[in-house]
Amino acid sequence: MKSKLKTLLRKGNILAPPDVTNLKEFLNKLSEQVSPSSVSHIEASSEGPVHSIILIGFHHKKGSIVEYKYPSEKEESDLLPYLALPDCIHNESSDFLYFLVQIGGKLKYCVSCFRQVPNENISADMSRNYVQKALVAISNLPFFGIISSRMQATTHAYFEQKNFENTEIITDIYNSLTSGLESCGVSDLYVGFSARKLIHMFKEKVMMLWKLVLLEGRIVIYSKKPSQLSSAVFALLSLFPGQLCFDADSKIYEKYLKSLKMYGLPLELFNENFVVHPYFSIFQLDALEKPGYLIGCTNQMIVEHPKTQAHAVLNIEENKLDILLPKKSAKCIKLNSHDKTFMKSIIKKVDETWNENEDWFGSDTLVWAGSDDFIRSEFHMYLKNNLANIALLREKLIGDSDLKDIPSLPDFDEPSECEANANILKKPKKKSKYQNLDPRLNKLWKFKKYMKSFRMSFLYRWSSTYNFNQWMKNYPSFLASLSSFSNYTARIKISYENGDVYTGSVLSGKKEDHGILEESNGNRYEGHWISDQRSGMGTYTTQDNQYVYDGEWLDDEKSGNGREIDHGVQYSGGFSKNLYNGYGVYIDPEGNMYDGDWLGGKKSGVGHFKNSIGDSYSGEFCEGEFHGQGQITFANGDVYVGMWKLGKQHGIGELITKGQESFRGEFYEGKLHGRISITKKNGCRVDCNYFEGEMNKGSVEIYYDDGRVYQGSVDEELKPHGKGVMHMPSGIFVAADWEHGDRLISSNDL
């Protein structure tokens, strides 16, 4: 039965024939001069960000109906009740979905949060066992995820009150959304769906779908769960630059769209030939008469309907993609070696960072290898780079008289996978019969290098689509200079998706020579570039001027000599890989100063350090600490000369106090430890043992300046105290008890 169904689905499911069928026709098409299309500007709506909030209910006789609307005077769509309560509502106690409707000739962005609850203890005049209702937010701005997160909480609260006639909460959510959406930014367009989930589930097949969208094919995404369905549709659309802005006019993403215009983007994917319905109802079957569409549905009948004739069905429930095209047609969306390399890198990063608890709705807003933002950026750049290559190819072709009378180039099969892996994308070894007649055919084959990222069969069909032909009319003339194959330097102004703006020289699509990069956050770099990276002399300044670096760069990092001011911290000297390296002078706002060698951002080598309280050190450093031979003069006048280990006195050294007392001997981790010789100010010398900074007072030798020597116990002032022996210069010694330097007289001495 399944094979029969698949056969029926395949019947007639062929892509529209392309306008061009070989390389020469394709190149001739590109070489045609075209006039820019007149793009009608969409007038900004005088409405706020939210059109209305509508309550939809299921009536046992009338079906889905509008029960309440705020504001009451707002227009609505006849399709709204059928889209807000999906076909599968009886399978879900609660869920949400995204959909689009036309109201007053303008596209509106809708989020429906619906509930199905038992008809118990609820004031509802209905004979059904269950109450099915939906709260729908109709927005003028496509911030589906933001709206959904707020609407779900409101819907829960609305049902919890068990009184559907109390609509005060609907007014509250209208006001809340109106104020909340005004503060949204471009990044909020991507909240509520996960490109990571799409890649993790369908791997390389995502690229096939991506290509089929460009070809304006017929695509159905199926899932029993509406929220998963909506998220999958928008996750796919997010891989195309600017598509999630739709035709909404807002200053929120005005700069973002301006950055895309330099590539002729966004593509006009949604047009008379290709429509999108994130959620598709059985009541919309007439839309299937369009040549192409991207629809999401929860009803298996739509997938199997004779009108559908899909080219591809993405089944989320079964985790599979069915390509329902004849083998020859399907070949154009198959991955070539470049596609496979591109997807392999993305899939690897996603799988390495995958968490089994992740769902379709995404959550992270950080940019890291494998994140949603990373995936979108990679797909966006893949499309941009290929468009730049095609623009360069057109530039080389336009006005080229050599192409006019060249015979049609015969078709050759696409290279096999092993040939593609070997990068055999040039003219086949087998010569065309025309080559002997006209050597200018060689020129055609040279042009293939500009298009090696895509199969030629894909390009032939893509060049026949509405979105490609509109792009050819609208992309700016300087786009060719952004191609990696461009061999001339152009001076242009580039606006990037993230809001950054570059003004300067470009070579092979990369920043080169002198240029200025103004980042979206207000930070600014002016200086030299090599192959898209800061290299040579340049100055980087933050918006608040709290950070300034003026000096040498290498491979986008501070390397060489430079001067840096970082929130009052001043450094002048050598850098390597953004870190202090070599000789440099450092001064911070507290008055700490270092003049000497650095390694890897830390003091290392020989230098002089003076802190804010007046301590001054000269000597060796390691890992930012005093280490090796060094001398420190403390603010109180004490001086230590000797060995250090990681910031502490360690080894042989001498400490001379301000009172001219000297402690010479061994130190251990900043403390006297071992045999120590103390020289007092009065000239006497004390030899004793220390253990971790504590003197052993029971075994001390004192050498007086008059020649006497004492051996024994001492007090805190190093005077004989306790049992001890005093050796006189004459050779006589006295063994006695002592107290604070005085000999105690015993009865035996009397």
pLDDT by residue (tens digit) across 644-677?
999 999 999 999 988 778 999 999 998 988 888 8
- When pLDDT is averaged across residues 262-276 and rounded to a whole number, the result is 90
Out of 476-480, 498-502, 576-580, 731-735, the most confident range is 576-580
Question: Across-strand partners of 579?
Answer: 576
Instruction: Quote the distance between the C-alpha of residue 7 and its chain's center.
Output: 43
Mean pLDDT for the chain? 83
pLDDT confidence band for 406 (50 / 70 / 90): very low
pLDDT band at 426 (very low <50, low <70, confident <90, very high): very low
Please say whether the beta carbons of 464 and 18 come within 8 A. yes
> How is residue 271 annotated by DSSP?
B
- Average pLDDT of the residues in 632-651: 93
Between 670 and 438, the more confident residue is 670
Write the CA distances from 253 to 142, 264, 351, integer angstroms: 11, 16, 32
pLDDT tens digits, one per residue of 671-702 = 988 888 888 887 788 899 888 888 888 888 88
Looking at residue 24, its pLDDT comes to: 64
What is the torsional sign of CA 615, 619, 621, 627? negative
Nearest to 387 by CA among 496, 482, 512, 455: 482
How would residue 514 be classed by pLDDT, with cut points 50, 70 and 90? Answer: very high
Question: Given a cut of 60, is residue 413 above it in pLDDT?
Answer: no
Q: CA 31, CA 394: separation in Å to the nearest integer?
A: 6
In the chain, % of residues over pLDDT 90: 38
Residue with tokens 């659309």: 237
Residue 73: pLDDT over 70: yes
| 18 pLDDT above the threshold of 60 | yes
Residue 40 backbone dihedrals phi, psi, to 5 degrees = -75, 130
Report whether pLDDT(78) > 90.
Answer: no
**What pLDDT band is residue 267 in, cutting at 50, 70 and 90?**
very high
List, in sequence order, every residue forming a beta bridge with 525; answer none if it has no partner.
517, 540
Mapped onto helix, strand or coil, the DSSP state of residue 259 is helix
DSSP designation for 432: P
Residue 148 has pLDDT above 50, yes or no: yes
pLDDT for 316: 94
**Residue recorded with tokens 């060689």:** 442
Distance CA 673, CA 635 (A): 24
